[in-house]
Structure 1
């Protein structure tokens, strides 16, 4: 029997049974801004349905179960036959099935498809982030396959299908397929040109056999993979199916699953190829160029995924503070806590607004927008993913000891938070990519400056930051050693310009005063006290 010593009071109720989409004002306003009026009602309806599912007790329980029961590798069957299968908890399949049926693997060729998909990805991954990995890679595979029209015609209908079919069978027999990737190797990591996996051509046109390894192969239960290997003409991109057309298993030896800090529900593996059948994608020696569109799309998903983690953690912090009393009043009304919450809310809104702007550029698909994305994607990937971990950690602290306990859900968000800064190239890789674009593609800088220039004259702190950025860009001495600082300033100026144009005045004012005006401490909660912080916090509140 329970001890009858006290009555439980002053505890916040669970944040459950709410519409994750509709409760997020920055997100809903972004969708309204970037989706054409004739498509808006349909977009709102589909996103609200997904939002209610993401905020339900059922989806939250699926997330807990998928993480408490991580995938298990089965290399052999009971008779000793090599099978290389990964078993997942049923909740993983339910999460993944919902993501696929909601169209989160299909933005290409759909009206406002990238904005609608980005908003859906941001909403649904708040229920559980790990299953977003195969969702992201499947979505991002499409532009890489389009370099080979025959491959695209065969695989694109499966990749964009809204039917999820688990299990290893020939892809032609499945109503929908998922894709993973394998690029990095032990000796090279991000330096993929150091890869040693060999590709030997066969008699069939575009057919090869691969021999080598991949140090990180994501989502090994997928139906196919894009991998890089050395052919006679140099580093080349290949499509590796898990099951061949005749029903036999391709040679895809899973050596082990990674024991990771977070992302526990998702399987990341080390694999060996030995006479593994593959189909060339693109020309020999053009592997990086072929796969770069996939990389860019998954980098955008790193921004969106980090924005989702930030939004969920901030929603939890504000919700807790709205119910928890201490020292004579609600936490949300205490000036210092309000400052912390407002600072967190700014970070979250800036990330969401930037993510949707990038998605809208994909939808526009003009020369100018493609040039803008060339700089904006790596800059956003660098900065937003870097800001994710401190944001989640501070939000956890808002719950005190309760936040440090697994049942709150915040520890899982915290363990997940560093992932996107590493996946698809860590901070240095992104910063160096920005430098490459600055040095080789002047049209990218012109498009970036035109974008931030749309807000010039609206805020003196933003104007000053743009001027300082131009000064930094004019001085290329020692540019590599200070690349991180330069890319940080580019991302902040871009976020500031978007908020000045589109966010409520109190949000834009607080962002520019802190991030661009220099009056910002090293920890959250150091915003100028004269700002309208109460409105900023109320805007971030998820009302159940």
Structure 2
């Protein structure tokens, strides 16, 4: 009987080989997206396209995907004291977070657009923000607040003269030191308190003026993101009422201002970004704008961060669609690629339709913001109402769209390494930050009541597509009746703002998108020929036309 082979000489057992798995989605240009490119051209920033593609290739690189993963897995860590017991209130971040921030600021996604006099500068910045935040959304929060702080700070010209050149800088320097000695600054804001939340007039943080003209704050804030930023716009109660103040982390003499971080928030998503509960105790501050008119002052910042919420949600939806598209193009079932299966074509086509509507509206808002800065009063009026409408709807649709895209990957999409769970956790965020759905619906009513020119600007925008599609015309006629402010308007507000968003998106697509896109949108979003879930577009839809609009 022959001897058995020695254990080390036995062939290695192989149970399977890996087949029919998509390759990693890496090494691609995130900006290679016809909807995005057409929108940038249309809104006046064609000159930026070469830089946008360069940024897109970087966003799609393996290195940046690794940064995104590491920044979220290695979360920020609070250090309240140094080794000797001195209070320092600092947050430590993984180096990958700083790498993401460095690119964002150097590419002009912070405040640089305010120092750029070219037509379309804010559109260029919006497109870059969408492309870069597709790679990792959490670090976009301090970037967005820095961008948005500039118009609010201009209510205090002396402060703006000192700090605006640093907020519009393209240099990122982490760490705390005297603001005027840094080559670039980041800004944040502190509005809400635990007892009031959205009702900022219930704030109890108190401000007392000093003989030298500065103020001292005492109180707390409930949800202040990016606590390592250099400057914060903070709401506090002054003798004349709620007012806006500038609070630096480090004072001009180099000493630390009192900014006690009680804890970091343990959030659902947005894990790379630190959000905190700071307390003020004899904290030095400078008044921004008129005393007692803090909401009016800081709303200039909130308007721009709301715009970034729309941009971020459109980008997150597009990023999820790109992952789903890549998967179904490479995965085969029942003898054919998933992308060729009729029902999957319906799902992907429906997601592409949703994404195109969101991206087109987001860039239209960015175009309005750009032209408003140049003095266009009609665009400013349009932005006032359309930002609330877009913020409500695009942010509401992101979670549903990302969930459907994740399902396209099946179990692979539920695995952390796919990146889809991070997109899913991030998806509800923009619907909450800078005003929840109810806040934006009520803000729409406020604009209709107090600024009728905003309704006229919306009417002009929508009616630019008059006669282009009978379903759009019919929906607009119906909506005009709903926009009447009656006693039950607050009850109807969500229904009205949803319908306004769909009609506005329909008008944009009828004018600017291919016929296949506009027809499918009007049939399903305006005429109601669809089910409640994605993938319920009617038979006869031009799916081939929709699928030509896919990213990647």
- Which TM-score tier does this pair reach, normalised by the shorter chain? over 0.9
Give 1:132's match in structure 2, choosing from 140, 152, 160: 140
- For residues 393-542 of structure 1, the aligned pairs below 5 Å read 393-474=403-484, 476-542=486-552
Give 1:252's match in structure 2, choosing from 253, 256, 259: 259
Partners in 1 of 2:192 and 2:12 — Cα distance?
54
Q: Say which SS state the counterpart of residue 399 (structure 2) adopts.
A: helix
Q: Residues 459-514 of structure 1, C-alpha deviation per residue, up to 9 Å, x if partnerless?
A: 01101110110121236241100100000000010001001100111111111110
Does structure 2 conserve the Cα–Cα contact (< 8 Å) formed by 1:319 and 1:541?
no
Partners in 2 of 1:2 and 1:258 — Cα distance?
49
Task: Give RMSD over aligned pairs.
Answer: 1.1
Does structure 1 conserve the Cα–Cα contact (< 8 Å) formed by 2:115 and 2:168?
no
Partners in 2 of 1:541 and 1:76 — Cα distance?
47
Q: Say which SS state the counterpart of residue 276 (structure 2) adopts.
A: strand
Does structure 2 conserve the Cα–Cα contact (< 8 Å) formed by 1:18 and 1:56?
yes
Does structure 1 conserve the Cα–Cα contact (< 8 Å) formed by 2:449 and 2:485?
no
Normalized against structure 1, the TM-score is what? 0.97
Q: Say which SS state the counterpart of residue 539 (structure 1) adopts.
A: coil
- For residues 268-279 of structure 1, the aligned pairs below 5 Å read 268-279=275-286
Change (3 A) 1:89 1:108: same
Partners in 1 of 2:390 and 2:104 — Cα distance?
24
Does structure 1 conserve the Cα–Cα contact (< 8 Å) formed by 2:399 and 2:428?
yes
Partners in 2 of 1:388 and 1:409 — Cα distance?
16
Give 2:36's match in structure 1, choosing from 4, 10, 27: 27
Give 2:352's match in structure 1, choosing from 345, 355, 365: 345
Partners in 2 of 1:408 and 1:151 — Cα distance?
45
- For residues 12-411 of structure 1, the aligned pairs below 5 Å read 12-21=22-31, 23-35=32-44, 40=46, 42-105=47-110, 106-110=112-116, 111=118, 112-205=120-213, 207-365=214-372, 366-411=376-421
Q: Residues 230-282 of structure 1, C-alpha deviation per residue, up to 9 Å, x if partnerless?
A: 00110000000000111110000000000000000000000100000000001
Q: Say which SS state the counterpart of residue 39 (structure 2) adopts.
A: helix
Does structure 2 conserve the Cα–Cα contact (< 8 Å) formed by 1:114 and 1:362?
yes
Partners in 1 of 2:507 and 2:332 — Cα distance?
37
Deviation at 1:3, TM superposition (A): 5.4
Does structure 2 conserve the Cα–Cα contact (< 8 Å) formed by 1:339 and 1:529?
no
Does structure 2 conserve the Cα–Cα contact (< 8 Å) formed by 1:358 and 1:376?
yes
- Count of aligned residue pairs for this structure pair: 536
Change (3 A) 1:314 1:3: farther
Partners in 2 of 1:378 and 1:473 — Cα distance?
14
Deviation at 1:109, TM superposition (A): 4.5
- Stretches of 4+ moved more than 4 A in 1? none
Q: Residues 122-146 of structure 1, C-alpha deviation per residue, up to 9 Å, x if partnerless?
A: 0000110000000000000000011
Aligned partner of 2:6 in structure 1 is none
Q: Say which SS state the counterpart of residue 85 (structure 1) adopts.
A: strand
Partners in 1 of 2:40 and 2:355 — Cα distance?
16
Q: Residues 422-459 of structure 1, C-alpha deviation per residue, up to 9 Å, x if partnerless?
A: 00010000000000011111111000011000001000
Partners in 1 of 2:341 and 2:534 — Cα distance?
15
Q: Say which SS state the counterpart of residue 549 (structure 2) adopts.
A: helix
Partners in 2 of 1:521 and 1:235 — Cα distance?
47
Partners in 2 of 1:507 and 1:263 — Cα distance?
32
Does structure 2 conserve the Cα–Cα contact (< 8 Å) formed by 1:142 and 1:156?
yes
Partners in 1 of 2:471 and 2:304 — Cα distance?
32
Partners in 2 of 1:178 and 1:471 — Cα distance?
45
Partners in 2 of 1:475 and 1:456 — Cα distance?
24
Does structure 2 conserve the Cα–Cα contact (< 8 Å) formed by 1:201 and 1:208?
yes
Deviation at 1:89, TM superposition (A): 0.1
Structure 1: stretches of 5+ with no match in the other structure? none
Partners in 2 of 1:109 and 1:96 — Cα distance?
19
Q: Say which SS state the counterpart of residue 491 (structure 2) adopts.
A: coil
Change (3 A) 1:3 1:459: farther
Deviation at 1:537, TM superposition (A): 1.7
